[in-house]
Amino acid sequence: MEARVLKPILGVYCAAFILFLYGPMIILAILSFQGAGGGPQFPIIEWSTYWYQHLLGMTPPSRISRLPIGDSLLRSLTLAMMTTVVSTTLGVITAQGFRTRFKASGAVFYLVILGMIVPGVLVGLGMALLSNMLGIDRSWWGTAFVLHVVYTFPFAFLVMLAIFNRFDRSVEEASLSLGVSPVQTFRRVTFPMIFPGVLSAMLFSFTLSYDEFSRTLFTSGRELTLPLTIYGTFSVEIYPNIFAFGVLTTLFSFTLLLVYALLMLRAVRAGRSFKGQEEAV
């Protein structure tokens, strides 16, 4: 009885919650179409794409300086790709190692998981201190990069661990006992089976690194990454050009998500047709 009353109430509440989650982004998106003379708030004096052009340097020079995103965007993308490759590789081989029971596996598990738990500001500080003591210059491709991997590797590891847990070992063993070399077995048998997991690990690593900021703050040295550039605008007055940037970077993230979904769908379909063949035989 009560559930019948409760369900619609909770449904409305849930809708309100979704509005709470999306509201600020929607307002930000609307305000990004503010006219040239308008401020970062309502009313919209004139609908235009002025701030998008401003962002891309297509407007005549004005009082408001351009967001220096060009170089930092390139750096962030490179860094995210480096991080993706290394943390996914580490995630796969570490999870592969976890398929055999060994002593201290609990300790190793927690050591890896700690990477996603430790606040970025703390490891960032520690890494800055360490590089100071050792006399190593801080850089986005060095000190910041290793911390990005510390952060994303646990995600990749957890995803791969979940995949290996549901993994049918006998297929691999069949391949090995038929005389296929371990390397070939991994390439032709194991890898296709774990591919959806690898894809998820890559998506996690890329997105988290691309957006990572607290770990980069103390460790990137003079050359800034994209989130650091955005953080630089926090202290000064904000203009709608940062809203325009927010819309573009959100669209970029969504594109990534879409590509992931499409690849995933293909992998699932391929898996299904493979099973179908087996049954037919």
Partner 1 sequence: MEFAGEQMQSAAQAQGGQNGVSPAEHRARQERRNALMLISPGVVWMALFMVLPMVMVIYVSFWTQTTFTVEPTLTTDSWVRFLTSSTYLASAWTTVRIWAIVLAATLVIGYPVALFIGLMVRNQTLQTALLVICIIPFWTSFLIRVIAWRPMLGTEGAINMILMKLGIVDTPLTTLLFSELAVLIGMTQIYCVFMVGPITFMLSRIDPSVIEAARDLGAGFGRIFFKIILPLSLPGVIVGAIFVSVMVLGEFATAASLSGRKVNLLGNIIVSQVGSLKWAFASVAGVILTIIIAAVITVLLRVVNLRKET
| Under 8 Å between Cβ of 52 and 240 | no
Spell out a b/e string for 120-132, using b for 16 or more CB atoms within 10 Å of the CB, else e: beebbeebbeebe
User: Least distance (Å) from partner 1 to the CB of residue 233?
Assistant: 8
Q: Please spell the DSSP secondary structure of 172-209, one letter per residue.
A: HHHHHHTT--HHHHIIIIIHHHHHHHHHHHHHHHHHHH
Count of residues making up the chain: 281
d(CA 263, CA 265): 5
User: Least distance (Å) from partner 1 to the CB of residue 254?
Assistant: 7
User: Least distance (Å) from partner 1 to the CB of residue 280?
Assistant: 29
**Residue 235 or residue 277: which is nearer to partner 1 going by CB?**
235
Q: Within its chain, how far is the Cα of 141 from the centroid?
A: 17
Closest CA to 51 of 72, 37, 69: 37
**Residue 16 or residue 171: which is nearer to partner 1 going by CB?**
16
Six token digits for residue 228:
């650091």
- CB atoms inside a 10 Å sphere around CB 246: 17
Six token digits for residue 71:
């170089």
**Residue 23 or residue 192: which is nearer to partner 1 going by CB?**
23
User: Least distance (Å) from partner 1 to the CB of residue 218?
Assistant: 6
CA atoms in the 13 A half-sphere facing the CB of 164: 17
**Residue 63 or residue 103: which is nearer to partner 1 going by CB?**
103
d(CA 221, CA 219): 6
User: Least distance (Å) from partner 1 to the CB of residue 139?
Assistant: 14
**Residue 106 or residue 277: which is nearer to partner 1 going by CB?**
106
Closest CA to 69 of 218, 248, 235, 196: 248
User: Least distance (Å) from partner 1 to the CB of residue 20?
Assistant: 6
User: Least distance (Å) from partner 1 to the CB of residue 196?
Assistant: 16
**Residue 25 or residue 58: which is nearer to partner 1 going by CB?**
25
